[in-house]
Amino acid sequence: MDVRALADEELIPLMARGEARAFEAIYERHSGAAYSLAYRMVGARSVAEDVTQEAFLNLWRSGAHYDRARGSVRTWILGIVHHRAIDALRRASVHSKRRSDDETAAERLEAPERVEEDVARRDEAAIVRNAMEVLPPDQLKVIELAYFGGFTHVEIAEMLESPVGTVKGRMRLGLKKMRETLAHGAVGT
Amino acid sequence: MSDHDRFEDTAGAYVLGALPDDERAAYVAHLASCAACQAEVEELSVAASALPMSAPAMKPPPALKARIMAEVEREAALLASAGEPRREPKPKPRWRFSWPMGAVALACVTLLLGLGAGAAVFGGGGRTVPFESAPSLAQASAELEIDGDKAVLVANGLPAPPEGQVYMVWLVGPDGKPKPTSALFKPRGDGSATASVTGLDDAEAVVVNTEESPDVTAPTSPVLMTATLS
């Protein structure tokens, strides 16, 4: 049986039974998105590799926990990566070393290789980026600081010198608006 | 102010992972009984789970796959040699957020455990540290085979964790707070188990408890085994 022909949802039970080839097929499909998210969050190649490794080994050892009612396998994997990246950010104080979106020349040299997105991913990414771009800047900022920066709403409120309630409200309103925009572009989860 | 009013604006921060631990715990408890918040979390999760797609596409280095597959194949071989596939827990109910603590005791008594037969699997000349177990695991023996900043946990006589849970390894640093690791395991049919642990550099102790979800940042059930490194 060529496991690469199986759907994610069929691979997970095989992986949970200890079949390394099923895990490998999952890795091949989702490691790009996982590593891209990790790098976007931690901004350092070695830390992104550690986060991706931790997340996939976690996946391998806990595959039996996948619950398809909670979303796709990809959503589940990226959720694990997100948690691990937040742990890494909070653990290693990468926050203090990171430079917002402005990388130094040295960091650019060490950055991972950018890849051309395939058509499906390019379309999907365009829909998501569009849904983010139409948000008011103050809503987009708190969403990005929270999701990609790993900051709590309390930390963001301090950073922006805004009331906590305002920050939470912006997160909620921004995500609601994004959800509505995405509904027109039909990005699956 | 009603409980719901208190949490009215919280769903966004929750799905973004931006709630401090104490607030998150309070919100999760509220969610379990609030259909309106459940619906909003579900709705906003669609947007939050799309956010990773906006990240520029990067190519993971081939060496990363090689490292991961080496570990996976090593563990798969161990599982195969044990002759018992991993078991799958029953599907979890969607809104069950409170994890059962299990009937385990909190206290870790000083009980030096004999070296298990599993040690022979790994052999080698690394430093070995025995685990101290809670009374509920009095029949178990476990030790940590340490090699640099990595270690292999070898256990014998370990009871199965509560239904739907796995054993999880945590590293306790100088600040005394347990940090999660990706080391999760279930004992085989004969009660033996192994797990690889990395990142021991500044760890002062390695502890084990049981968890239902691997995505926790702090232990949600009592510590069952402790190996003190320093």
In this complex, the residue of B52, B58, B86 whose CB is nearest that of residue A114 is: B58
pLDDT greater than 80 at residue B218: yes
| pLDDT, tens digit (0-9, with 9 covering 90-100), for B86-134 | 544 444 444 433 333 322 222 222 222 222 333 333 333 468 888 888 8
| Dihedral angle sign, alpha carbons of residues B97, B102, B105, B111 | negative
| Dihedral angle sign, alpha carbons of residues B68, B69, B70, B71 | positive
Interface probe with A: pick from B1, B38, B72, most Cβ of A within 10 Å: B72
In this complex, the residue of A27, A67, A81 whose CB is nearest that of residue B91 is: A67
Q: Is residue B90 part of a domain?
A: no
Task: Report the DSSP beta bridge partners of residue B154.
Answer: B143, B194
Q: Within an 8 Å CB–CB cutoff, is residue A159 touching chain B? A: no
| Contact assignment for A147 to B16 by CB distance below 8 Å | yes
Cβ atoms of residues B154 and B116 within 8 Å: yes
Helix residue ranges, H only, B51-191: 62-82, 119-122
- Prediction pTM value: 0.62
Outline where DSSP puts E strands in chain A: none
**Domain match, B143 and B199 both:** yes
Q: Is residue B148 part of a domain?
A: yes
| Contact assignment for A35 to B64 by CB distance below 8 Å | yes
**Domain match, B139 and B218 both:** yes
Q: State how far the Cα of B5 lies from the Cα of B7, in Å rounded to an integer.
A: 5
Q: Give, for B227, the enclosing helix (H) or strand (E).
A: strand B225-228
**Alpha-carbon gap: B12 to the closest alpha carbon of chain A (Å):** 4
Task: List CB contacts of A31: < 8 A, sequence separation 6 or more.
Answer: A52, A56, B60, B64, B65
Percentage of residues in chain A with pLDDT exceeding 90?
Answer: 57
**Domain match, B109 and B150 both:** no
**Choice between A86 and B3, residue whose per-residue pLDDT is larger:** A86
Q: Is residue B88 part of a domain?
A: no
Q: Is residue B195 part of a domain?
A: yes
pLDDT greater than 50 at residue B175: yes
**Domain match, B104 and B170 both:** no
Q: Within an 8 Å CB–CB cutoff, is residue A148 touching chain B? A: yes
In this complex, the residue of B46, B56, B68 whose CB is nearest that of residue A179 is: B46
In this complex, the residue of A17, A165, A172 whose CB is nearest that of residue B44 is: A172
**Could you give the number of structural domains in chain B?**
2
* Tokens 């999701």 -> residue: A147
What is the edge-to-edge ordering of all strands in the sheet holding B127-130?
B127-130, B141-147, B150-156, B193-198
**Which of residues B78, B104, B123 is at a domain's end?**
B123
pLDDT at B88: 46
Q: Within an 8 Å CB–CB cutoff, is residue B60 touching chain A? A: yes
Q: State how far the Cα of B24 lies from the Cα of B213, in Å rounded to an integer.
A: 15
Q: Is residue B70 part of a domain?
A: no
Taking alpha carbons only, the member of B49, B30, B9 closest to residue A172 is B9
Name which of A104-113, B66-75, B106-115, B209-218 the model is least confident about. Answer: B106-115
Task: Report the DSSP beta bridge partners of residue B210.
Answer: B167
**Which of residues B107, B123, B139 is at a domain's end?**
B123
Beta-sheet pairing, B225-228 with B205-211? antiparallel
Q: ipTM greater than 0.90, yes or no?
A: no
- CA A90, A96, A102 angle in degrees (round to 5)? 115
**Residue B56 belongs to what domain range?**
1-60+95-123
**Domain match, B211 and B100 both:** no
**Domain match, B136 and B108 both:** no
| Contact assignment for A116 to B79 by CB distance below 8 Å | no
What is the domain-level CATH number for residue B190?
A: 2.60.40
Q: Is residue B71 part of a domain?
A: no
Name which of A17-21, A26-30, A43-47, B94-98 the model is least confident about. Answer: B94-98
Q: State how far the Cα of B201 lies from the Cα of B73, in Å rounded to an integer.
A: 25
pLDDT at B23: 92
